[in-house]
Structure 1
Amino acid sequence: MSLTKDALQLITDNALAAAGKELETDTPVVLIPEGSKVVDLERFQHGRSRFRGTYSTHSLVDFGAYVVERAAPDARGFIDQDAMSCVMLFNLGTPDLPGHADDRAVLRLKASAAFAAVQAVCGQALAQKAMSDWIEDWNQHLAATDENGATMSIAKAIAAVRTITVKASSESDHAVSETRTSRSTMDAIEASSKETLPAWLDFKVTPFEGLGEQVIRLRVSVITSGAQPVLKLRWIGEEAQREAIAQEFKAVLDDKVGTAAKLSLGTFDAK
Structure 2
Amino acid sequence: MLIDTDKVTIDSRAIVSKDVIDKEAVGDYQVELSEITLSQTGQDINDLYQKVLQVAKEHPSPIYISVDKRFELLEKTASMIAAKSDISYTSEQIHRASQDVGKELNITEIPPGDISAGGGNVFSFLSQEDKTRLGEAYQHALDNNSDLKDVNTVAFTLAIAKFREEKIASGTIYGTFSKEERESLYELNNKLEAPSDEIKQSGRDFVEVLKSELEGNDLFSSNPFLKTLIQRDSIFDILEARDPDYFNKNIRKKFFT
TM-score, normalization: structure 1?
A: 0.23
| Greater helix content | 2
Larger radius of gyration: 1
User: Which has the higher relative contact order, 1 or 2, with Cα contacts under 8 A spaced 6 or more apart?
Assistant: 1
| Greater strand content | 1
TM-score, normalization: structure 2?
A: 0.24
